[in-house]
Amino acid sequence: MKMIESMKDKKVLVLGLAKSGVAAAKLLHKLGAFVTVNDAKPFEENQDAQLLLQHGITVICGDHPKDLLDDGFELVVKNPGIPYTNPIIEDALMRKLPVWTEVELAYRISEAPMIGITGSNGKTTTTSLLFEVLKEGNLHPLIAGNIGTVACGVTAEATKDEVVVTELSSFQLMGTEQFKPKIAIWTNLFEAHIDYHGTMEDYAKAKFNVTRNQDESDYLIYNADQEIVVNEVVASKATKIPFSSTRILKDGISADDEMIYWMGEPYLERSVIALPGKHNLENVLCVVATAILMACPKEALTHVLQTFAGVEHRTQFVGMYNGRKFYNDSKATNTLATKSALSAFHTPIILLAGGLDRGHSFEALRPYMNNVKAVVVSGETKERFAEFANSCGVSVIETAEIMEDAVPKAYALSEEGDIILLSPSCASWDQYPSFENRGERFVEAVEKLKVN
């Protein structure tokens, strides 16, 4: 890693721990900063804080003192999940202190080029697929960011011969300053996380940070089928590579029913793609464009496209039982993600939906509910989703308290040839600690169904 001098002897506050806070604190300490971490969890229950204290890092736990910043801090590195309405963050901004997420640190120390992938939907699939393609092509990728390992932990070990494929949320991008990926991918932009950003405009502005510092030597792959994205990227100075799944582009990557086209010329037959659905075609276009830009061997790209069947919790094929196919799309925490999942199938669907009630409308699902023959609802939104499904003409609606009840009920409502799809359209936190946990319990319930 680059042992940057800008952190030496700088007084830095790391706000919020978990994986990103721990990694940032350790890195800053190694770079010679005077680090203080502040976390709301009491010290005696906080293993992360106890570990950092052993490393010689100052730890303040149990609350967030209002006068914390009076101690002369020059930089705040915050956990991405902490909103900018947090009193300490508001105080830092009022004092004109820089507020970063660890992604900014990751970029500053990285010897390896970085690929930044963002968007409202499709980030995880695109990141995972691209990683597998580059790995197959012997281009030495590392995977980081919102998908798994903390970015600054990955770049601390990365060499100039590797490439860091990084999934980036708007929360992470909002806390960047100099971040400049060699290739940026912007999959799409839909209304999401307004409770965090406040407005759609501020949400879009945070996403734009993936390309804000790029120049003509860098590349931006973006969704040419979304006017809102097209309008946002006008300000980017990167070399732009548009993608489209609706028309053939002469200046980018695109597809029709038969082929994928690069710069308007046939490049690859669509029949090699294993992933179902239009939304996944868009993800594939981003990956193919990146592979071409990085001179990845075409045979490596083709092999992975033929064998890659998806990522956990994102329209993940779980298995077949008595002629029913089960899919885990627990990562569909908003309506538009569920829309993508529903549009991927053309056979009858038993839909498992519901979760944390953020008050958002399900109306965008209406045109895609035609194949839904029954719904099993749960969580805080169960009554609202049931009313919506009924208004769409779905006459069979059942309620389940937990996943272990929902899966058997869905199976009982199904027939041979049906799809049983968990695609909640809501966050998980009303009942489960994460969408991953929700998805894992769905998979376990499916496996138990097979045993019984």
User: Do the Cβ atoms of 13 and 76 come closer than 8 Å?
Assistant: yes
Do the annotations mark residue 72 as ligand-binding? Answer: no
> If we measure between CA atoms, which residue out of 316, 410, 312, 401 comes closest to residue 355?
401
Give me the DSSP letters along 17-28: -HHHHHHHHHHH
Do the annotations mark residue 290 as ligand-binding? Answer: no
User: Do the Cβ atoms of 103 and 27 come closer than 8 Å?
Assistant: no
Do the annotations mark residue 338 as ligand-binding? Answer: no
Q: Please give the Cα distance from 392 to 386 (Å, whole number).
A: 10
198: number of CA atoms within 13 Å, CB side? 8
Do the annotations mark residue 319 as ligand-binding? Answer: no
> If we measure between CA atoms, which residue out of 187, 295, 204, 190 comes closest to residue 243?
187
User: Do the Cβ atoms of 377 and 397 come closer than 8 Å?
Assistant: yes
Cα separations in angstroms, 128 against 210, 416, 436: 18, 32, 16
Cα dihedral 424, 428, 434, 436 in deg (nearest 10): -10
Find the DSSP H helices in 344-392. 382-391
User: Do the Cβ atoms of 68 and 38 come closer than 8 Å?
Assistant: yes
User: Do the Cβ atoms of 99 and 92 come closer than 8 Å?
Assistant: yes
Do the annotations mark residue 122 as ligand-binding? Answer: yes
> If we measure between CA atoms, which residue out of 96, 121, 179, 47 comes closest to residue 335?
121
- The edge-to-edge listing of strands for the beta sheet with 349-353 is 316-321, 324-328, 419-422, 349-353, 372-377, 396-399
What b/e sequence results for 220-229 when a residue is b if at least 16 CB atoms lie within 10 Å of its CB, and e otherwise? bbbbbbbeeb
Do the annotations mark residue 120 as ligand-binding? Answer: yes
> If we measure between CA atoms, which residue out of 209, 244, 240 comes closest to residue 224?
244
Find the DSSP H helices in 294-344. 298-307, 335-343
**What angle in degrees, to the nearest 10, is found between the helix axes of 278-293 and 123-136?**
40
Count of C-beta atoms within a 10 Å radius of residue 189: 24
Do the annotations mark residue 213 as ligand-binding? Answer: no
Give the H/E segment covering residue 116.
Answer: strand 114-118
Count of C-beta atoms within a 10 Å radius of residue 93: 13
Q: Which residues are annotated as a binding site?
A: 119-125
Q: Which residues are annotated as a binding site for ATP?
A: 119-125
